[in-house]
Chain A
């Protein structure tokens, strides 16, 4: 049904609603809803009636992000009446115990103020199902419980399964969902599964992981969460590029010198030794977050913002990514040594608890990529990420070429750098434009200045947390912000040769904690006559 038809006369939409009421699917009922009108922009996108089943409720992610995000959604009035949340974990708990955990998580981490009536609405629909993933009885009980919730709360057989558990448990959970027939709903109801990164640790394991979920759920029902894509600023990359006429004409090899995409963290690996060692910075960050950012910055304009068109453009540009011939000259890796970070002494990577002394895992990775298409040929994309760097920041910097001719004397423009457009993803989200300006005074001296647009300044407070947006999209069934399996595989294809090369190179070069990475990363830029932006 097109928008035009939806507008229709009230009588038509009422007739359509009654028709859908008899035969239709959930989506059809929603589309035929006489009270909804595309022109009525005040009404928020509200998820339809559904249940969210959360596996791994006791994990950090659930407590710090997912449960608070669910409350915030309810507080903003974006959850349907009757929305229910089922927790599943190996705990001898009753519904109240899980409600208590949720209450504590909400009180501590929710972004919107706590309101008793919202909690009352939410807590009515909080249930807990105890059991092990291998226990058939527990999943039979879960199936029964969901059926009962459908009857008592009118959730219409629509279930989302959020697997907030390590990937090694995916096969058994997915198999159980298949066995209990929870993976396939009756006609008109939807079933969706949500998985978190890591999506494998190389191309082969990504294939295997996908084989497990795709054997049970169709690709359209699999939602892979890369929480970076839920961030306002990342979505704003698309607004900036495609809603304006100011930037797109220069967004190509004719004007761009190179692009730097950085994600720097000031923290170490913390308690994640078991996960991190053997994975490293490149697999942890570059494969997903940075390559997704690269795709959004470099892709051609999609024909529309629906999932198909957007993913197609991202895939095209990921396919066009080429590795340099000599990886020893175009990549750098390092690991942090003991040092001072922000005024505190910190230990080196190999001294962290749980890290073997002969570890060759990198905590800093920098790579140079090229994109073989008409727009970007010859423009290098430098990606870097690291832990225990100077400070926490994530940004995309598009650095432009120098002006072809400067009608000033050489002395006047000595300290003039490249123009740059910087998209700051976190913290302090916003956009900076750097350009040359005359220094006040009688002499003609030109120097770099920054013009700043801070997101928080023009649109304060309203920006929702990434998980809020992504959870709502899952419940509504709106997939553009979730990477497709093909994108995951293309990213591994880019990274696998680099990882293979690094595996043969012994331990990475050390850099002092609190610095900006190993010397080899600076040398890599110097070979191209460029420097990293000082962050």
Chain B
């Protein structure tokens, strides 16, 4: 890996340095498919970059990491460029000081790859309306993570009010294996579901989303209950014939039980952030099913 530091610099200097580095490595045209802008602070930077670089194995990207530093200091832009072995694309860490922290878009915009999608990701705290954030407005897809907010259910409800097509949430992405398994369970005849219960660790950000999705699709009331965790531990759906239950206590292997049939074990592992991110980058069109779920959370949370 080649790494290069630039202090007190500008976007155009970064850009020409990148071109120079690429020529030096002998790969002037790499097949990068998108720009991923990561907006985070110094503390969460390491994990976020790691996850983004791993996701870039599946989706070669230019990764722009925007790190906000002291807003009281004099205006300054520091950059760290990483090109080469660890990732098929490029990683650029941008550290913003002073008034520049409010104008991140002026640095990000000239560094975006031409004519390819832009994805913005807030691994930690995110703006109230991501689509109106100066950097968020540059992106076609905006990824937040309700897990970072407390209480998460209020954060999800407020997302519904701020929703613009292209918004998405890693708390929703975490549910895909659960939803896939539930959908597979319904590939066999199931009677009308009367009510349901989702259990998860206290203030689990994905639990209300799963309950809302099930409620929306099954037309039945759903409740969320707390359990000892880790993560989501069970989904219980009551039908006239009995309960369909998926339970998981070790965050790895789940048990599916349904009336009149023996229990079956199914692998249901919690996925690392890199895999969640890779799933998000796979499809860049608006997720209407997510929209329906957060709108339902907003409705039920109010009442």
Contacts and interface: CB of A to CB of B under 8 A. Distances in A.
Interface stretch (B55-63, B66-74, B75-83, B118-126): B55-63
A475 B82 CA distance: 45
Nearest to A75: B267
Contacts of B57: 460-461
Contacts of A66: none
A461 B262 contact: no
Contact of B188 (A42, A156, A457): A156
Nearest to B251: A117
Contacts, number: 134
Contacts of B218: 10, 14, 34-35
Closest 6 CB pairs of A and B: A21-B189, A457-B31, A458-B31, A117-B267, A35-B183, A118-B267
A285 B191 CA distance: 51
Interface in A448-471: 453-454, 457-462
Given A39-B288, A42-B173, 9 more contacts: A11-B219, A21-B190, A26-B187, A34-B218, A35-B186, A49-B188, A81-B185, A124-B264, A458-B60
B301 interface: no
29 contacts: A11-B219, A21-B190, A29-B188, A30-B187, A33-B187, A35-B179, A35-B182, A35-B186, A35-B217, A37-B289, A42-B173, A42-B176, A42-B283, A43-B180, A48-B188, A77-B177, A80-B187, A115-B267, A118-B267, A121-B264, A121-B265, A153-B264, A156-B188, A458-B31, A458-B33, A459-B59, A460-B58, A460-B59, A461-B58
Interface of A: 10-11, 13-14, 17-18, 20-22, 24, 26, 29-30, 33-37, 39-44, 46, 48-49, 74-75, 77, 80-82, 115-118, 120-121, 124, 152-154, 156, 453-454, 457-462
Nearest to B241: A21
Contacts of B256: 81
A53 B55 CA distance: 37
With most chain A CB atoms within 10 A of its CB, the pick from B189, B253, B268, B289 is: B189
A117 B190 contact: no
A17 B190 contact: yes
Q: Give the dominant DSSP class at B's interface.
A: mixed
Contacts of A457: 30-31, 60, 88
Contacts of B181: 77, 81
Contacts of B60: 457-458, 460
A15 to B, nearest CB: 9
A35 B182 CA distance: 8
B287 A42 contact: yes
B217 A454 contact: no
B68 to A, nearest CB: 31
Interface in B41-99: 57-60, 88
